[in-house]
């Protein structure tokens, strides 16, 4: 999609602090981090949300999940843990309509946010 900020980041049209990239996703540091570690993992396939995935996308989704595990190991997040979040829709405060996940780590997040 030509006006999608994440598509532009993935294409290199907008600068980012790249953490990881493979055939399924592009991961970069969030520009407004909510935790000391805040990484955005954006799918390379433009879809507005998880609601757009079909059974044909299972391998693609699995590739993203595997990438999240690789990123966590690469960034040294496995000892104390991390949280993976996907916001889906306006009430969940999804600000970019492009499937993406947030990896958060670097401190106690409490028990209130699931």
What is the per-residue DSSP string for the chain?
A: -TT-HHHHHHHTSS---EEEE-SSEEEEE-SS-SSSEEEEEEESS--SSGGG--GGGHHHHHHHHHHHHHHHHHTT-TTT--EEE---STTTT--SSS-EEEEEESS---SS--
Per the residue annotation, which of 38, 46, 98, 100 is the catalytic one? Answer: 100
Is 102 one of the catalytic residues?
A: no
Residues tagged active-site: 100
């Amino acid at each position: 999609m030509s006006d999608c900020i994440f598509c532009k980041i993935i294409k290199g049209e907008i600068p980012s602090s790249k953490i990881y990239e493979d055939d399924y996703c592009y991961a970069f540091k969030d520009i407004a981090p909510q935790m000391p570690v805040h990484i955005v993992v954006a799918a390379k396939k433009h879809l507005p949300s998880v609601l757009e995935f079909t059974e044909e996308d299972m391998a693609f989704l699995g590739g993203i999940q595997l990438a999240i595990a690789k990123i966590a190991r690469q960034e040294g997040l496995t000892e104390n843990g991390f949280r993976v979040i996907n916001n889906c829709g306006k009430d969940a405060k999804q600000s970019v309509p492009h499937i993406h996940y947030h990896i958060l780590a670097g401190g106690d997040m409490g028990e209130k946010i699931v």
